[in-house]
A = this chain, B = another copy of it.
């Protein structure tokens, strides 16, 4: 059974998933209740009453507080029990866990470690998703696989040539390029550079189809599995900052050891929203993620029958260095978390 990192931020939801209703989601095996306070900020509590364990998400939101559906205990957004129908003062020792949450660029992040150690500056930067034309196209795909199998997929985009024949693949473009994995502190980069190739698909409607381009796919990873992909192209030889760029988020949050919330988002190549273009883009993403990635990732995960990844001695091809490095970094972080802390 996998252990999960505790001292890190997990993406818990897209902002628009947390509205007026109480919202429950399992994260790293924990039942989590998300809701908005009257000031609009998101609160997160363990979704299990301390009395008889009913999910608070089946109860009622009352101002900034939640009332248990079973016997009516009331908890505030710090997890403190502030009222009981059965006594003047609330019961002692009834507090439930409140989880630090931060909302950034359309995503809700949850800190899984000690609350006092929560440092929002460690939340990976997804400001690239915020464009003048508005929020990105986004979704959440449930995936029946351990989250690291998704990281392997994303940190090695060579799979595009085989898995994404029906969507992203340009014939042999990936193989025409150069791949480089580098580590910058606790951030990993897995970057492709494909000079002087046919205009890639994301430039459709921006560049003429016959244009030759320099093309790049730069994937940035932060633990546990928050990835930002920069998909770029310029006229061959032009500087990158003049290019046509879209940014994609691929953020994987474990629901438990065997299932994963796969949050995805993409900006648009154009700087305005075009409903027809959005519909096409959403269809393309769903084809690529649900129709192509998900079946392969799930089948590979299932093919281990619950066995450990490394004990199956996977062959290394070099191209997979990004996913492998990510796994090793997480293992090192887990070891650090388990070490006794200096007093």
The minimal Cβ–Cβ distance linking A227 to chain B, given in whole angstroms, is: 17
Whether, in the assembled complex, A2 has its beta carbon less than 8 Å from a beta carbon of chain B, the answer is: no
Give A313 to B52 CA distance when docked, in angstroms: 10
Stretch at the interface among A157-165, A235-243, A262-270: A157-165
Decide if B163 touches A85 in the complex (CB within 8 Å): no
Please name all residues of chain B whose beta carbon is closer than 8 Å to the beta carbon of A341 when the two chains form the complex.
none
Cβ-neighbour of A315 out of B94, B149, B303 (below 8 A): B94
Decide if B86 touches A317 in the complex (CB within 8 Å): yes
- Number of A positions contacting B (CB below 8 A): 53
Decide if A93 touches B315 in the complex (CB within 8 Å): yes
Whether, in the assembled complex, A314 has its beta carbon less than 8 Å from a beta carbon of chain B, the answer is: yes
Whether, in the assembled complex, A229 has its beta carbon less than 8 Å from a beta carbon of chain B, the answer is: no
Decide if A318 touches B86 in the complex (CB within 8 Å): yes
Cβ-neighbour of A318 out of B53, B87, B161 (below 8 A): B87
**Please, which residue of chain B has its CB at the minimum distance from the CB of A156?**
B71
Q: Which of A52, A68, A158, A300 has the most CB of B within 10 A?
A: A52
Stretch at the interface among A43-51, A218-226, A275-283: A43-51
Give A94 to B317 CA distance when docked, in angstroms: 10
Q: Which of A51, A301, A315 has the most CB of B within 10 A?
A: A315
List residues 87-102 of chain A with CB under 8 A from any CB of chain B. Answer: 87, 91, 93-94
Give A211 to B303 CA distance when docked, in angstroms: 57
Decide if A296 touches B91 in the complex (CB within 8 Å): no
| Binary B-proximity of A275-315 (CB < 8 A = 1, otherwise 0) | 00000000000000000000110011101110000001111
Decide if A312 touches B53 in the complex (CB within 8 Å): yes
**Please, which residue of chain B has its CB at the minimum distance from the CB of A172?**
B85
Q: Chain A interface secondary structure, helix, strand, loop or mixed?
A: loop
Decide if B175 touches A70 in the complex (CB within 8 Å): no
Supposing A91-B315, A93-B315 touch, asked if A300 and B55 sit within 8 A by C-beta, the answer is yes
The minimal Cβ–Cβ distance linking A249 to chain B, given in whole angstroms, is: 23
Supposing A314-B50, A314-B53, A320-B52 touch, asked if A162 and B69 sit within 8 A by C-beta, the answer is yes
Please name all residues of chain B whose beta carbon is closer than 8 Å to the beta carbon of A58 when the two chains form the complex.
295-296, 299
Whether, in the assembled complex, A319 has its beta carbon less than 8 Å from a beta carbon of chain B, the answer is: yes
Decide if B175 touches A85 in the complex (CB within 8 Å): yes
Please name all residues of chain B whose beta carbon is closer than 8 Å to the beta carbon of A70 when the two chains form the complex.
159, 162-163, 296, 300
Please name all residues of chain B whose beta carbon is closer than 8 Å to the beta carbon of A303 when the two chains form the complex.
31, 47-48, 53-55
Give A316 to B94 CA distance when docked, in angstroms: 9
Whether, in the assembled complex, A76 has its beta carbon less than 8 Å from a beta carbon of chain B, the answer is: no
Please name all residues of chain B whose beta carbon is closer than 8 Å to the beta carbon of A312 when the two chains form the complex.
53
Whether, in the assembled complex, A72 has its beta carbon less than 8 Å from a beta carbon of chain B, the answer is: yes
Whether, in the assembled complex, A152 has its beta carbon less than 8 Å from a beta carbon of chain B, the answer is: yes
Please name all residues of chain B whose beta carbon is closer than 8 Å to the beta carbon of A67 when the two chains form the complex.
162
Please name all residues of chain B whose beta carbon is closer than 8 Å to the beta carbon of A167 when the two chains form the complex.
none
Please name all residues of chain B whose beta carbon is closer than 8 Å to the beta carbon of A315 when the two chains form the complex.
50-51, 81, 91, 93-94
Could you write out 27 A-B pairs with CB less than 8 Å apart? A47-B303, A50-B314, A52-B314, A53-B301, A53-B304, A53-B314, A54-B300, A58-B296, A67-B162, A69-B162, A69-B296, A70-B159, A70-B163, A71-B158, A71-B159, A71-B317, A71-B319, A71-B320, A72-B162, A81-B315, A84-B317, A85-B161, A86-B158, A86-B318, A91-B315, A91-B316, A91-B317
